[in-house]
Chain A
Amino acid sequence: MTSALSLAGRLARLSDDDLAALIAERVVGRTRIDDFFDLAEALLDPAAVQRALGPLDRDALAVLCAVAASPGADERIVSELLKRWQQASGDGEGRRELRLQAIPQLLQRLADGLLVEEEAGRFTAYQQVRDRLAAWPAEGLPDASALATAAEPRPQTTAAVPDHTKLDSFAAERAFAAVAAVAELLAELEREPARELQKGGLSLPDSRRLTAGLGVRQEQVPVVLSAAERAGLVGRDGNVWLPTAAASRWLHLSTARRWTVLAGAWRSSLATDIRRLLLSHAHVPWGSSLHDWMRWRYPASFAELGHRLDAATTAAELLGITVRRVPSTAGAVLLESGPEAAASILAAAFPAEVDHAYLQHDLSIVSPGPLAPELDTRLRVMADVESRALASTYRVSAASLARAIACGETAQSLRAFLGSISLTGIPQPLEYLITDAAARFGRVRVRGLTGERAQTAIISDDDPVLGTIEVDQSLAGVAPIRDGRRLVSRLPRDIVYWALVDAGYPAAAEDESGRIESVVARHVASPRHTEAADDRTEEVVRRLRAAPQIGQNSQAWLSRQLDAAVRSHTTLLVSVALPDGREIEFSLEPTGLGGGRLRARDRASDIERTLPLSSIRTVRPI
């Protein structure tokens, strides 16, 4: 007997962890699950069965079809059935080889997966599983014979392989550009986190901002973001993306080391099957053969797995592992030997880092090659990046210098650093700007207030400046009001600070003790929160354990089983207590339940019986 009844019994014997995993993986929709019957029914729902079939590879599916075709089959019958299907398909060269020795493990896997039941070495598929498999051909999925016979697609070795030298130089370019794009992503997120929409994907303004900041096409932004996430460089805090603590360590690595981290994370993130598949394609064009193989191997879940495969191959293109879906030399080595070996190949093709730059009259700073990471990191504090490629361009402005001073730089340290990297000294306009910025910095200070109606105070020793701020039309939004020798605003400190900076005032933010501090966002993503879905799963498990248990034979549990049997027209063995104290067992097909009575057809005598529920002791499936 294979049905919701028997499945419910099996479910009750699972551990809490297994139950939680099962619910998370298999239950479709938001059906309320109060007891193991509900869960069994939910698992036998056609959509849930289809989901259970998804992860099964072609071998497992072929074995399942054999079990479905022959209820109660043992290992030998399954094996013979598979062979018979093969023979029926003819002797074509393309016929696949069946791994008959794997049948016992596959049968056990199907039983563990709650798709079949085992009794004394004989296996029977649940009716709902059989129904689902029977519906496949109409849905364009393979039938039993095709599963057992269709040959494995081979990699396309005939496709023209392009010039490998060109391919590798293209790959090195991509690898370099990917590392640069991730670095820009981290800088952008550090400056301003990016918002993830509820429905998934970045908000449009953030997507546009990152497109411009990263210097990539808009559709590439999520690919770069994923690469950074895989490597643990960015994370979500609520609905915003932020750099993690690992990001700053990564930013101090050389280009080759940075790539090693990104490529290593990509490799580790591959599902075993996908990794094996890509490894088998390490020296041949990926073309369409990856999809062909995936569709052949996982016919029931190709859509989902194909999506994951696409994500992996798209990321591979970004990182220079492939170029136009042909693995580069470094890409092949990455798959075969790991990221360090691959990076050493790429490193030779990366442009050499430089430790100097040109400082120009237009306040631009141009490094004639990739600037060494530690110099780049420090320069970014005092200058904004305008373009980042082989040679990066930075631009100094009054705002960028004010930011640097707020972060602890002084006119002297700025001059010393810029002088040390400059090939041509410090141009006069830049010198003027440094002196001017340092002299004016902090002339207006902004401090957060606590315990007052206003949130922010604007303080300055220069009373005329306060007078100007008070009447400044462009500051009407923050509405500064005179309060003795200071101005106050009801808006938070950072908003007032940015309004003043935007209006051109030499503002500095300070903490409550009067110490200058940077207002630049310095958030770091915290570890990912437990998903809400997990909370729901745990709640369901708690409810299941609290519900009347199988074997307890409470009235409620009996009613639940009988009700299920009525709906599924299942025949049960029902044990009934007679008034004289004896117990008698009937083979009954319940037809109705109500008023404290069960109506059922007695299979043995073929008569209709009506039994008070109070007299029923146990029920069990036949």
Chain B
Amino acid sequence: MSDGPLIVQSDRTVLLEVAHPQAEDARHDLAVFAELERAPEHIHTYRITRLGLWNARAAGHRAADMLRTLETYSKFPIPQTVTVDITETVARYGRLTIERDAEGALVLRSEDIAILTEVTGAKRIAPLLAERIDDTTFAVAAWARGQLKQELVKLGWPAEDLAGYTPGTPHPIDLVQQGWHLRDYQNKAVDNFFDGGSGVVVLPCGAGKTLVGAGAMATAKTTTLILVTNTVSARQWRDELLRRTTLTAEEIGEYSGQVKEVRPVTIATYQILTAKRKGEYAHLALLDAMDWGLVIYDEVHLLPAPVFKLTADLQARRRLGLTATLVREDGREGDVFSLIGPKRFDAPWKEIEAQGYISPAACYEVRIDLPQSDRLSYAAAPDDERYRLAATAPAKLAIVRRLVARHAGERILVIGQYLDQIDELADVLGAPSLTGATPVDERERLYQEFRDGSTPVLVVSKVANFSVDLPEATVAIQVSGSFGSRQEEAQRLGRLLRPKESGLSANFYTLVSRDTVDQDFAQNRQRFLAEQGYSYTILDADAIAA
């Protein structure tokens, strides 16, 4: 124990005093087993969770190492409950293993007969097991590998999956590192992934997750299936792979609503994979269309629930998850752990930002007074209409114009949720709009014009939020947006955090109708952004010069 930067609390949170001289060292060691929950400027909060501890154990760390980290940097004695909890939880990982026997058949094994008896007797596990081979071994049907891991995590006895992967059909893939190279942390992410087997790499938007994917493909050199959130993202992946690897256009296929190509490297959308016809998944054949040696899940925190089910059947293939956050709005972090794999790499946003790879953003909340007539309409409206009225208040238009004028010459994204408002904004600003209804080709053209500067202002709806690379945006003005979910804010900010060549810092404005439900949601947003470490300033609309 020292007068260190950490305060370990009995509720399993760990606070880090950022200004402490040992803070960076402590953060480095702590991140191994604790999840960063909040990172406002002075005190960061980490949480020690079961999944976090198992993730660390999966990466080879022992409970004693983790406790030593806490003891080294803690200001106060470590609560005994935490010590006991870490020791017991870590000891649970790997007491069961899924492996292959001499004949190559899948088995569940444990030297601890009491544990084996406990888990194999569980109602949801027994049906996944075939016969008992001996005291320490149960046969497992190949189809049950994923489901078994899921259930074991739920029971608190996560199995180590040592059964290995099918190598897939070899396919030559190399990185073409001319004028660029993989950054150190990207290399580290790729190495950690291959050392661990399958798993998830957590990197902030703009930190080059696609390149980590390319790096993994160049290491695996095998046929690869890449699952992404939408078609635009699929095309960005394709372009990036063509630019950064030896792959040619003929080797990369797109499997989406528009095109159905199966090539050695196939990029498919989650949507097409989960599309149903007559109650059946219509495109499941894709999963077996080739002998995939690597499956990449982009934006794994958005992975639709049915894909988990399909992924349970893909356990024999090496899986890489890429995401900016392990937090899922649906709380299914445990399924990511058991079906995609443990976290293999995680870098705090600010740390990468400090290395200069992502640009800092300043966040502003602009509070706008509604005119009395709008206030009356708002007050008289039922609850379910209030958010829309507040979010689409006409008073916001004038402020958007002022902000656009203030940032003239910069690349500006104006983000809205409601189509009427988006049209109106596009009209007022004389800027093109981009919504879910915009055809894919048109979208790509608009993004391209935005990138090259011929269209400096773009009014976008939710569709632009996910997986679209707009590196030159330096200003985002959020006029309306749904309910301040943490995930959505991460995406919004991600638009601005991509490395800038211009050297301009990014500004993120949210416009809020004062004394309305809009302001309540803004509070969540403020909390999330400040917790991510970004400066946050509240302004009155008057402060934005006309």
Name A's B-contacting residues (CB within 8 A). Answer: 166, 169-170, 172-173, 177, 215, 349, 351, 358-364, 366, 368-369, 387, 389-391, 397, 423-424, 428-429, 432-433, 464, 467-469, 471-474, 504-505
Contacts and interface: CB of A to CB of B under 8 A. Distances in A.
Nearest to B10: A389
B542 to A, nearest CB: 13
B259 to A, nearest CB: 45
A366 B6 CA distance: 13
Given A363-B526, A471-B380, A428 B537 contact: yes
A362 B41 CA distance: 9
A360 B515 contact: no
Nearest to B14: A391
Given A173-B79, A368-B17, A387-B9, 17 more contacts: A170-B80, A360-B41, A361-B530, A361-B536, A362-B38, A364-B43, A366-B43, A387-B11, A389-B9, A391-B15, A428-B537, A429-B536, A429-B538, A468-B376, A469-B379, A471-B379, A474-B383
A391 B45 CA distance: 11
Contacts of B8: 390
B526 A429 contact: yes
Contacts, number: 112
B379 A473 contact: yes
A466 B519 CA distance: 20
Contacts of B380: 471-473
Nearest to A468: B379
Nearest to A505: B515
Nearest to A323: B80
A390 B40 contact: no
Contacts of B11: 215, 387, 389
A358 B43 contact: yes
Residue from the set B8, B76, B372, B519 with the largest chain A CB neighbour count within 10 Å:
B76
Contacts of B536: 361-362, 428-429
Interface string B386-413: 0000000000000000000000000000
Contacts of B519: 504
B381 interface: yes
A360 B536 CA distance: 10
Contacts of B13: 387, 389
B382 interface: yes
A471 to B, nearest CB: 4
B7 A369 contact: yes
6 contacts: A177-B10, A360-B530, A361-B41, A369-B75, A390-B7, A424-B42
A465 to B, nearest CB: 9
Contact of A423 (B38, B42, B81, B535): B42
Contacts of A361: 40-41, 526, 530, 534-536
Contacts of A369: 7, 75-76
Nearest to A463: B372
A351 B76 contact: yes
Contacts of A359: 42
Contact of A362 (B17, B77, B376, B530): B530
**Is chain A's binding surface mostly helix, strand, loop or mixed?**
mixed
Contacts of A360: 40-43, 530
B353 interface: no
B313 interface: no
Contact of A464 (B375, B527, B534): B375
Report, nearest first, the 9 A-B pairs whose CB atoms are least far apart. A362-B530, A361-B530, A389-B9, A358-B42, A472-B379, A360-B40, A170-B80, A432-B538, A471-B380
B29 interface: no
A369 B538 CA distance: 30
B531 interface: yes
A504 B10 CA distance: 36
A472 B516 CA distance: 12
A368 B526 CA distance: 23
Interface string B469-484: 0000000000000000
B375 A468 contact: yes
Contacts of A368: 7, 15, 17, 43, 75
Interface string B74-89: 0111011100000000
Nearest to A362: B530
A363 B527 contact: yes
Interface of B: 7-11, 13, 15, 17, 38, 40-43, 75-77, 79-81, 365, 372, 375-376, 379-383, 515-516, 519-520, 523, 526-527, 530-531, 534-538
Contacts of A397: 523
Residue from the set B7, B38, B365, B531 with the largest chain A CB neighbour count within 10 Å:
B7
Contacts of B538: 428-429, 432-433
Nearest to A474: B383
A173 B10 contact: yes
A169 B77 contact: yes
Given A362-B531, A390-B76, A391-B9, A471 B41 contact: no
B38 A504 contact: no
Contacts of A429: 365, 526, 530, 536-538
Contacts of B40: 360-362, 364
Nearest to A349: B77
Contacts of A433: 538
A505 B365 CA distance: 20
Nearest to A171: B80
A188 B526 CA distance: 27
Contacts of B381: 473
A517 to B, nearest CB: 24
B42 A473 contact: no
A468 B374 CA distance: 10
A446 to B, nearest CB: 17
Contacts of A505: 515
Contacts of A177: 10
Contacts of B10: 173, 177, 389-390
A166 B372 CA distance: 65
Nearest to A169: B77
Nearest to B531: A362
B194 to A, nearest CB: 38
B41 A391 contact: no
A273 B413 CA distance: 77
Contacts of B534: 361
Contacts of B520: 504
Nearest to B371: A464
Nearest to B38: A362
B307 to A, nearest CB: 33
A424 B41 CA distance: 10
Contacts of A170: 80
A391 B74 CA distance: 12
Contacts of A173: 10, 77, 79-81
A351 B1 CA distance: 12
A135 to B, nearest CB: 46
B48 to A, nearest CB: 13
A363 B524 CA distance: 11
B375 A473 contact: no
Contacts of A166: 80
B16 to A, nearest CB: 10
A362 B526 contact: yes
B49 to A, nearest CB: 16
Contacts of B535: 361
Contacts of A366: 15, 42-43
B535 to A, nearest CB: 6
A472 B17 CA distance: 45
A158 B456 CA distance: 82
A387 B538 CA distance: 26
Contact of B9 (A358, A363, A390): A390
Nearest to A475: B379
B81 A473 contact: no
A388 to B, nearest CB: 9
Contacts of B41: 360-361, 424
A328 B7 CA distance: 24
A351 B79 CA distance: 11
Contacts of B365: 429
Contacts of A432: 538
